C-alpha cells in the first residue's frame, strides 16, 4: 500500500499518529510512506525510525523548485498549494496508484476497501462532504464553472490514479487557472474546477467523515449513523476545521478522545 502525505516539521507527530492508526487497523503486508517536503524535515530521521518500527518504509520526496518557475506564487498562493496537485511529477514513475491523506485524519477500520477502489478512467476518488446545502453546491458550481461534477470534493483524502494523472494533468493548466481566478481554498478549488468531472465519488460517512458533524450524520441517516455505527464501519475520521484534537484542552467533540489516545500512543 502506497501512502502519500505533505507536511512540515510541525506535523510529524500528527503524521506518526495517522500511520499508527493505519498500521493497527489495516490488513496489508507492506506500507510505503511518501512524504512531500520543501526542506528536509529536521525530524525526518525520527520519522523514518518510527516507520521502521511499524514495519513501514519512509520515502522523503523533495520538491524541485524549478517546477514552480512559471507558477503564480504569493503569500496567498505558496508553493505548498501545488504539492498534491503535482505529486505525479515528484513521485517515482513506477508507482501507479497512491492514497493521499491529510495529517489531521485517523484510520479506525481497514483502509483496503478505499485503496482498492476501481478508478478505471477516473483521475481520483474522493468524497463530497455530506451536509452542504443545495445553495452552497450551486454557488460552488457557478464559482468554479464545473457543472458536470457531482459536487464539491474534499481533497484531504484522495485515491490517485497516477497513470491517468500523468497523461491528463498539466502544470500549466493549473498555473493558468490560479492566475486567472480568485480562489477560496486554492488547491481544493483547482481540483474541483479542472478535474471534478474526473473524480469518482466515494461515501464520506465511510471514507472522509467530518468529525464536527456527528449529529448531522445521525439526522440525515434517520438515526443509523450513530457513534457505534461509525466505530464499526467508518474507515477515516477527518478532524476538519480549526479545533484540532491535539490543540484543544477539552474533549470538545465525540471523537476527540479517540484521536488523543492514538496521539498519546504514537
Residue 44 has pLDDT above 90, yes or no: yes
Identify the domain containing residue 166 by its residue range: 2-265
- The mean predicted confidence, pLDDT, of the chain is 90
Residue 2 has pLDDT above 60, yes or no: yes
Which stretches does DSSP call E strand in 117-152? 124-128
Query: Judging by DSSP bridges, how do beta strands 105-107 and 153-161 pair with one another?
Result: unpaired
Looking at the structure of the chain, the number of domains it has is 1
Residue 141 has pLDDT above 50, yes or no: no
The model scores a pTM over 0.85: yes
Which stretches does DSSP call E strand in 52-178? 56-62, 97-101, 105-107, 124-128, 153-161
What mean pLDDT do residues 256-266 have? 95
Give the end-to-end CA distance of the chain in Å, rounded to a whole number: 20
SS3 176: helix
Rounded to 10°, the helix 256-265/12-25 angle is 100
Q: Which of 66-75, 159-168, 221-230, 238-247 has the lowest mean pLDDT?
A: 66-75
What mean pLDDT do residues 223-229 have? 97
Looking at residue 133, its pLDDT comes to 43
Q: pLDDT-based confidence at 66, cuts 50/70/90?
A: confident
What mean pLDDT do residues 235-248 have? 91
Residue 203 has pLDDT above 80, yes or no: yes
C-alpha cell at 209: 467523515
Looking at residue 12, its pLDDT comes to 96
Looking at residue 67, its pLDDT comes to 86
Q: Between 69 and 125, name the one with better pLDDT.
A: 125
Residue 164 has pLDDT above 60, yes or no: yes
Q: pLDDT-based confidence at 55, cuts 50/70/90?
A: very high
**CATH number reported for the structural domain that contains residue 261 in this entry:** 3.90.550.10
Asked if residues 137 and 151 have their Cβ atoms less than 8 Å apart, the reply is: yes
Residue 167 has pLDDT above 50, yes or no: yes
Looking at residue 148, its pLDDT comes to 52
Looking at residue 134, its pLDDT comes to 46
Looking at residue 83, its pLDDT comes to 93
Question: pLDDT above 70 covers what percent of the chain?
Answer: 92
What mean pLDDT do residues 234-257 have? 88
Q: How far is CA 201 from CA 41, 119, 186, in A?
A: 34, 10, 20
Residue 10 has pLDDT above 80, yes or no: yes
C-alpha 38/C-alpha 68 separation (Å) is 12
Looking at residue 138, its pLDDT comes to 45
Q: Between 117 and 247, name the one with better pLDDT.
A: 117
Residue 209 has pLDDT above 70, yes or no: yes
Asked if residues 97 and 114 have their Cβ atoms less than 8 Å apart, the reply is: no
What mean pLDDT do residues 56-67 have? 92
Q: What is the DSSP letter of 151?
A: S
Rounded to 10°, the helix 186-195/171-180 angle is 110
Amino acid at each position: 500500500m502506497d501512502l502519500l502525505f505533505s507536511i512540515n516539521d510541525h506535523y510529524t507527530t500528527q503524521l506518526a499518529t495517522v500511520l499508527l492508526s493505519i498500521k493497527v487497523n489495516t490488513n496489508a503486508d507492506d506500507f510505503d510512506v511518501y512524504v512531500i517536503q520543501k526542506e528536509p524535515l529536521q525530524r525526518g530521521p525520527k520519522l523514518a525510525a518510527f516507520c521502521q518500527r511499524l514495519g513501514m518504509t519512509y520515502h522523503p520526496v523533495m520538491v524541485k523548485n524549478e517546477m514552480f518557475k512559471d507558477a503564480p506564487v504569493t503569500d496567498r498562493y505558496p508553493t505548498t498549494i501545488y504539492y498534491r496537485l503535482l505529486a505525479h511529477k515528484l513521485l517515482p514513475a513506477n508507482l501507479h496508484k497512491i492514497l493521499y491523506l491529510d495529517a489531521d485524519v485517523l484510520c479506525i477500520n481497514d483502509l483496503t476497501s478505499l485503496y482498492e477502489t476501481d478508478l478505471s478512467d477516473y483521475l481520483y476518488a474522493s468524497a463530497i462532504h455530506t451536509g452542504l446545502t443545495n445553495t452552497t453546491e450551486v454557488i460552488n458550481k457557478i464559482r468554479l464553472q464545473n457543472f458536470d461534477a457531482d459536487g464539491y470534493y474534499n481533497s484531504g483524502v484522495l485515491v490517485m490514479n497516477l497513470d491517468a494523472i500523468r497523461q491528463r494533468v498539466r502544470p500549466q493548466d493549473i498555473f493558468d487557472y490560479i492566475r486567472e481566478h480568485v480562489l477560496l481554498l486554492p488547491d481544493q478549488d483547482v481540483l474541483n474546477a479542472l478535474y471534478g468531472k474526473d473524480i469518482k465519488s466515494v461515501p464520506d460517512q465511510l471514507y472522509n467523515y467530518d468529525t464536527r458533524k456527528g449529529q448531522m450524520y445521525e439526522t440525515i441517516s434517520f438515526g443509523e449513523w450513530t457513534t457505534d455505527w461509525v466505530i464499526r464501519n467508518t474507515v477515516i475520521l477527518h478532524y476538519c476545521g480549526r479545533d484540532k484534537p491535539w490543540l484543544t484542552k477539552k474533549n470538545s467533540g465525540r471523537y476527540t478522545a479517540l484521536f488523543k489516545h492514538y496521539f498519546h500512543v504514537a
